Amino acid sequence: MAGLPAVLSWPHQTKEFPSLPNLYLRPSVQQAELSQTVSPGETLTLSCSVPDSFPKGPVLWFKGTGPNRQLIYSFRGGLFPRVKKTGNTTKAGNTDFSIRISEISLADAGTYFCVKFKEGKPDIEYQSGQGTQVTVIAPPSLPVIIGPLEKALIGQAVNFSCISYGFFPENITLKWFKNGKEISSLQTHVVKLKESNVYKISSTTEVVLSLQDFYAYITCDVNHLSLHYPLQGTADLSKTMLVPPTMSIFEHPVSKNKINVTCKAKKFYPKGIWLTWLKNGNVSRIDKTLTPTKRRDGLYTVQSSILVNKPHEIEDTVLTCQAEQDGQQEVTSKMTFLVSAHLDNNFTIGHSMYVLDYSMASFACMLAPWKQKDWLFLSLL
């Protein structure tokens, strides 16, 4: 044992005895945790050990330092409704002065000190623990993506907003993705909610709609130190799209004096659509109860037919098939054709017209007329 003092007197630590110099530390107030993280509503335990060799005097817990520090608990007594001691401090030789704080709130964040006083008139602060930094964290809400109020046409740029709130502290990240590939945001803001002292994040991104994105989706990922993994909000781009129909019209003779004219609207979205027939500018029929057929690509097709009498020799009949989508009158597709009365006895066509009009986009079609027996045919080129 003769060599032991020499070992203890080494001025540096070794791999074999890394903590030997601590043997010379004088007794002190010990707070086991340098930091703790809790969530609102939870219970926080703060540990403190005070050597029984210290002078007689009380132990108090404070939040903060200096003249404005806040008394959290006194083992001598007092009114501390949310704080309780964990050990028996009246027991002889007791060194445990730990406390438990219930119903933690955001206001409880801060540094807590266990302080030993020396009895006197007044008591004198003898020694303080190193402090325990308490961080109160509140997780963000599930992100919600808000799209445009009305559907938009293919090729239009639309904005999406993502909102999440209720988190603390304010440090947070938000990222946008389209089909798993990150896209940029137009702007992102974090603001403090005055009433509750928690924070809210809002972000906006822009997407140009294309038909290739019909099955695409965008996501908003929010990450915060209170989370084990990011929270995600999702929106389907198809729910934002308005795909106008491709219109076609054709006729089939049913008798010498009658023609069955069919209007077909195809490759449109969403499902809801009305087809309206107008004869010489006047509404002839409105089909609101049509059942569109869903295609493999997710778009829809529907058709409607109307029976037309052969026009008198001095009259032209102008038929218009109009499609109204999404309950919006301004979003309509029209197809118009002229059944001319200026025909000879063999129904040789003197004039025909076929027009497609869409209020938010333009299309052009041409018809080639020909004669077959006693019937009038119009055909797409």
Question: CA distances (Å), 199 to each of 137, 166, 317, in order?
Answer: 11, 6, 66
Cα separation of 38 and 225, whole Å?
A: 11
Query: Does 186 lie in the same domain as 126?
Result: no
Domain holding 101, by residue range, is 22-136
- Residue ending a domain, among 98, 116, 136, is 136
Cα separation of 139 and 225, whole Å?
A: 8
Query: Does 204 lie in the same domain as 158?
Result: yes
- Whether 332 maps to a domain, the answer reads yes
Beta bridge partners of 71: 62
Supply the pTM of this predicted model. 0.67
Tens of each residue's pLDDT in the chain, 381 residues: 343 333 333 333 334 444 445 445 689 999 999 999 999 999 999 999 999 999 999 999 999 999 999 999 999 989 999 999 998 888 888 999 999 999 999 999 999 999 999 999 899 999 999 999 999 999 999 999 999 998 899 899 999 999 999 999 999 999 999 999 999 999 999 999 988 889 999 999 999 999 888 899 999 999 999 999 999 999 999 999 999 898 888 888 888 888 888 999 999 998 989 898 988 889 988 988 889 999 998 999 999 998 887 665 446 778 888 888 865 544 556 666 565 544 433 332 323 333 334 443 323 232 323 233 233 333 232
Query: Does 237 lie in the same domain as 252?
Result: no
- 2 DSSP assignment: T
Question: CA distances (Å), 85 to each of 33, 43, 74, 205, 324, in order?
Answer: 17, 13, 9, 52, 73
- Pair type for strands 35-38 and 132-136: parallel
- Residue ending a domain, among 136, 165, 181, is 136
Max Cα distance, the chain (Å): 136
- Whether 4 maps to a domain, the answer reads no
